[in-house]
Amino acid sequence: MALLGHEKYALASGGNSVQQRLDVAVLKLGMYVAELDRPWIETPFLFQGFVISSEEELAQLRAYCQFVYVDIQQSRVPVDARSGTIPRRRRTKPQAGSPVIYRPPSVPLPRSTDLKSFRKTTRQAGKARETSRVYLRQVFHDARLGHSLDTEEAKAVVRQLVDVISTDANAAVWLTQLKRKDEYTSLHCLNVCVLTLAFCRYLGYTGEDLQTIGLGALLHDIGKTQTPLEILNKPGALTRDEFSVMKRHAEDGYQLMQRTGKLPEVALSIIRSHHERIDGAGYSRGLLGDELELPVLAVAIADVYDAMTSDRVYHRAMPTDKALRMMYDHADNAFGRTLVEAFIRCVGIYPVGSLVQLGNRAIGLVMDADENTRLLPRVLLVKNADGRMREKPKMVDLSAVSNEGKIAAWTIRRVISPGEAGFDPRRIMMEQAGMQLAALG
Ligand SMILES: [Fe+2]
């Protein structure tokens, strides 16, 4: 399926739900698990709500739960209501050796621990972002005019971003939510670079390797400087011919950068292959999974995630949780389940910068990506429970307040849009990062 290809994204369907409580013993592949008998956070499952798609997931459900609630309408197989009547038995702890989701090696990302240090690192990240943004805008302008590109400066930009990620990855990723429609292509390259650096550092890449991957990510769409602007900025679906032209950017970028003779092979591979998918349905060469290096797939994931969560002339930004969910649902075809799971663990189920409404209806911005508290991150509270804007945003650690017995009020109810929140989250971010509001455009 080429759904996670370049420009075609769709929201997952919603709808009313009818739930049936079922013993884990009678669960079947294709059933939609809407709720567990224990907090999701205590299980290896990434999402609240999923279709059982493997024997491994069935085994995990049986290891961790006694019963679950199955959504009848969202299930892909019939759900027998009679099987829901079950005798109660004692819940047993998962035994040693119980199957768990395979987890690749991961390195905790550095993060600041309080609002003061977060502000400080956000300001550093803001400065690095501005330098990178100005560089990319210039590079895209120069490349379109056929001028040669300064790869040394690109290396300096990546070095600066690696430093920021190594100081406080959350602050840098937080700022990827600062998007602008008018500078989409260059800002997208910057965001993909930041997300990729955070992801690859999480996967254990360091030093020169991280630098090389970052360089490929920063310039991954440089070939779009060869794409006619009327196609690049077309407000609406591309025709088949136009899409063929658009697809050329991967190969064009590769040729352009190869000619400089100054980019490492892995960076060139990233530029050439970031639209390939493991099932062979990607472009330009239709490569298969085992022909794609891990850094290429890491950039491909960051690329799709940033595109899905950005406003474009032809589609509205998708909420972060829905985008991750959709990527997860298509992981087997696109990037591989293990790697997508690792990305979700890295950025969090509620990624930093997500706008969330809490149980008490207060509204804030997620500031954390600690996988141990993935459902209870730290949130920068912007609106109080009574709906009033706070004079000064306040940091709230949801895992701490929920430990005080206030779990219903202080858990995340849902991700919301800026329109629903009634304020522009980018302004809050700009203030925290000490950036000029005028730069928002
Ligand atoms: Fe691309």
The per-residue pLDDT for range 127-157, each reduced to its tens digit, is 888 899 999 999 999 999 998 888 999 999 9
Cα 275 to ligand 1 centroid, rounded to whole Å:
6
pLDDT more than 70, % of the chain: 81
Closest to 360 in 3D by CA, of 418, 421, 422, 412: 412
**115-347: which CATH architecture?**
Orthogonal Bundle (1.10)
Q: Where in the chain is the domain with CATH 1.10.3210.10?
A: 115-347
Winning range, highest mean pLDDT, from 145-154, 271-280, 304-313: 271-280
Tokens standing for 265? 């092979």
For residues 184 and 330, what is the distance between their CA atoms, to the nearest angstrom?
A: 25
Q: How many CB atoms lie within 10 A of CB 55?
A: 10
Tokens for 69? 């609630």
Residue carrying the six token digits 């290891």: 63
Sheet holding 412-415, edge to edge: 389-397, 378-383, 363-366, 355-358, 412-415
pLDDT-derived band at 171, boundaries 50, 70, 90: confident
Cα(66) to centroid(ligand 1), Å? 45
Are 428 and 393 a contacting pair, CB within 8 Å? yes
Å from CA of 286 to ligand 1 middle: 15
HEC profile for the chain? CCCCCCCCCCCCCCCCCCEEEEEHHHCCCCCEEEEECCCHHHCCCCCCCEECCCHHHHHHHHHHCCEEEEECCCCCCCCCHHHHCCCCCCCCCCCCCCCCCCCCCCCCCCCCCCHHHHHHHHHHHHHHHHHHHHHHHHHHHHHHCCCCCCHHHHHHHHHHHHHHHHHCHHHHHHHHHCCCCCCHHHHHHHHHHHHHHHHHHHCCCCHHHHHHHHHHHHCCCHHHHHCCHHHHCCCCCCCHHHHHHHHCHHHHHHHHHHHHCCCCHHHHHHHHHCCCCCCCCCCCCCCCHHHCCHHHHHHHHHHHHHHHCCCCCCCCCCCHHHHHHHHHHCHHHHCCHHHHHHHHHHHCCCCCCCEEEECCCCEEEECCCCHHHCCCCEEEEEECCCCCEEEEEEEEEHHHHHHCCCCCCCCEEEECCHHHHCCCHHHHHHHHHCCCHHHHC
Decide if pLDDT at 303 tops 70: yes
CA of 324 to the centre of ligand 1 (A): 19
- Tell which residue, 24, 159, 26, has the closest CA to residue 94: 24
Give the Å distance between the CA of 215 and the centre of ligand 1.
Answer: 15
Q: What is the mean pLDDT of residues 109-126?
A: 78
State in Å: Cα 248 to ligand 1 middle. Answer: 9
How far, in Å, is the centroid of ligand 1 from the Cα of 74? 33
Tell me, in angstroms, the distance from the centre of ligand 1 to residue 318's CA.
19
Question: Residue 238 Cα, ligand 1 centroid: separation in angstroms?
Answer: 15
Q: Which of 18-27, 117-126, 223-232 has the highest mean pLDDT?
A: 223-232
Ligand 1 geometric centre to CA of 403 (Å): 44
- Is pLDDT of 233 > 60? yes
Ligand 1 centroid – CA 274 distance (Å): 6
Residues within 5 A (CB) of ion ligand 1: 221
Please state, for a pLDDT cut of 90, what percent of the chain lies above it: 34
125 C-alpha to center of ligand 1: Å? 25
Task: Give the chain's radius of gyration (CA, Å).
Answer: 22
CA of 10 to the centre of ligand 1 (A): 18
Distance 246 CA to ligand 1 centre (A): 9
Q: Which residue has the higher pLDDT, 276 or 439?
A: 276
d(CA 52, CA 58): 7
pLDDT tier, 98 (very low <50, low <70, confident <90, very high otherwise): very low
291 Cα–ligand 1 center, Å: 18
